[in-house]
Amino acid sequence: MTVTVNGAPAAANKAFNTTGAWTSWSTTGLTATLRAGANTIRATATTATGGPNVDHLSVETGTTPPPTGTTPAAVNGQLTVCGTKLCNRYGKPVQLRGMSTHGTQWYAQCLTGGSLDALAKDWNADVLRVSTYVQEDGYETDPQKFTDLAHSLIEQATARGMYVIVDWHMLDPGDPHYNLARAKTFFTAIANRHKGKSNILYEIANEPNGVAWSRIKSYAEQIIPVIRTIDSDAPVLVGTRAWSSLGVSDGANETEVVTDPVNATNIMYTFHFYAASHRAEYLDALSRAADRIPVFVTEFGTQDYAGEGADDFAQSQKYLDLMAAKKISWVNWNFSDDHRSGAVFKTGTCNNNGPWTGTGSLKPAGVWIRDRIRTADDFPTG
């Protein structure tokens, strides 16, 4: 049988020698790394006649020092949803903080070795969200091109020790079912290529809008099994109603998700906010929701909902304080030099290939968010 532990191979084609009779038993063993809390151990027969009759599994524990790597992915390993939190390999709640790319069809020139080095080492980011737009001159125009680009960015972020959110950036049309077949193709390709990695999170629908929660839920329950068949351990992030506002932008609230959750495990629900537009009603909904369901803020800005206009740093800080207190992971929009105030780099920075480090090339929003990403992480390993 082939044995995996939390999705990682522990033994391939491991022999279970015959005992010759039902009344005779033997024991075989292997050494594997376990994490604190729950572990998934899977044994799969590799011969035509199946596997052995396994009576029971016993675990003899030892202690292993924490990993020597200092990057977020090296320290925390495979992430898992535990209760309402995102937890690391030790079963401890963690908060990831990082940046989202802009649409890779427009701003791939902002994603260079130098800029990603700066994000990982100068900004000390934990996570990169790779936004693959489906429409708007994106994936649907050349699926192979944009899949390959996503592959490349995942590999580059992985090499720098960051987590990666693979963002299926559907926005218009707002019904995720419109792109269901494309999503199955895309996530099958991504999962097959990166299933051996422990730093991947799948965001399956960026901002559903104009549809009921039941419609979004049914989409999720069709896409998640596609991913799980290939990559059984990575967390999946599910968009919520009304541009991932938990329904608030449609006059609803988090109750619809709380009372009718997606039928799947190891998932989180996404929430997006733009501080200058989304005031106390949104902040309160996020606070309530985080106490009842797992929430990941995969997109936010300090400006209005279009990522434009004046920065509201005071309201933004209220959100960040709440997310720190409740260990809600977050990603800021966006790591580009778009003309809008929400893009962190000054216009022209990407075409000039930097400079990427420090604050000289940053807009006010970039300076503000860099300072907050750079503060020390709290990644408990005890």
For the four alpha carbons of 245, 289, 334 and 196, in that order, the dihedral sign comes to: negative
Measure the CA–CA gap between 16 and 239, rounded to whole angstroms: 44
Measure the CA–CA gap between 26 and 257, rounded to whole angstroms: 49
Tell me whether residue 299 is one of the annotated catalytic residues: yes
What pairing do the DSSP bridges indicate for beta strands 330-333 and 295-301?
parallel
> How far is the CA of 308 from the CAs of 272, 296, 369, in angstroms?
15, 23, 16
Tell me whether residue 256 is one of the annotated catalytic residues: no
* φ, ψ for residue 13, nearest 5 deg: 50, 45
Q: Are 179 and 113 in contact (CB under 8 A)?
A: no
Q: Are 81 and 87 in contact (CB under 8 A)?
A: yes
- Letter for the amino acid at 126? D
Given 203, 254, 256, 299, which residue is catalytic?
299
DSSP states of 187-245 as a string?
Answer: HHHHHHHHTT-SSEEEE--S---SS-HHHHHHHHHHHHHHHHHH-SSS-EEE--HHHHS
Element holding 105 (H helix, E strand)? helix 104-107
Given 203, 207, 254, 256, which residue is catalytic?
207
> How far is the CA of 149 from the CAs of 2, 203, 304, 320, in angstroms?
32, 17, 29, 31
Q: Which residues are catalytic?
A: 207, 299
